[in-house]
Amino acid sequence: MRVLLEQREHDRRELEQRIVQNVEHLIDPTLDRLSRALRHRPERLEIEAVRMNLREIVGPFGHRIAGTDGGRPLTRRETEVANLVRLGNTSAEIADALHISPSSVAFHRANVRRKLGLPKGGPRLETHLAALGRD
């Protein structure tokens, strides 16, 4: 039984590694071309968000930001805002990219902070989100 469980864990890790490699080799080049083509347009932020979302699908940040380690899950819009914050974008850039008002961005940022248990005046949201992605 132990041998079967070890083999299953080995197969799972191997599958995860193949998925990451496929994203890097098949999808990243296309995203790179789109990003360069949209260099000076707000839609470029969407390309970067797609890239980060793909990484989160295969990485630990996706589970943490989705609230699977005990917290309340973020909404789709909160996740979009969190991804763009993590990339270092300003609230004005995020509002422009998502076609929402800066006050809506501030609202979503506050909800993300609250759901992640970050106090007002505590660590910067960008710093906290970046740290989640590295764990």
The ranges assigned to domains in the chain are 2-134
Task: Check: CB of residue 124 under 8 Å from CB of residue 80.
Answer: no
pLDDT one-digit tens code per residue, 63-82: 555 554 456 788 878 988 98
Burial category of 87 from C-beta neighbours within 10 Å (exposed 0-12, middle 13-18, buried 19 and up): middle
Q: What secondary structure letter does DSSP report for 67?
A: T
Taking only the tens place, the pLDDT of each residue in 97-115 is: 888 999 999 999 999 999 8
Query: Mean pLDDT, to the nearest integer, of 24-36?
Result: 81
Average pLDDT taken over every residue of the chain: 82
AA letter at 26: L
Residue type, 87: L
Which residue is associated with the tokens 């793909």?
54
The answer for residues whose C-beta is within 8 angstroms of residue 92's C-beta and 6 or more apart is 102
| Amino acid sitting at position 126 | E
Whole-number Å distance between alpha carbons of 21 and 15: 10
Answering whether pTM is above 0.75, one says no
Distance separating alpha carbons of residues 108 and 25, to the nearest angstrom: 33
Helices 91-98 and 44-57, packing angle to 10 deg: 90
Residue 75 phi, psi (nearest 5): -75, 170
| φ/ψ of residue 99, rounded to 5 | 60, 45
Task: Please provide the CATH number assigned to the domain covering 2-134.
Answer: 1.10.10.10
DSSP 123: S
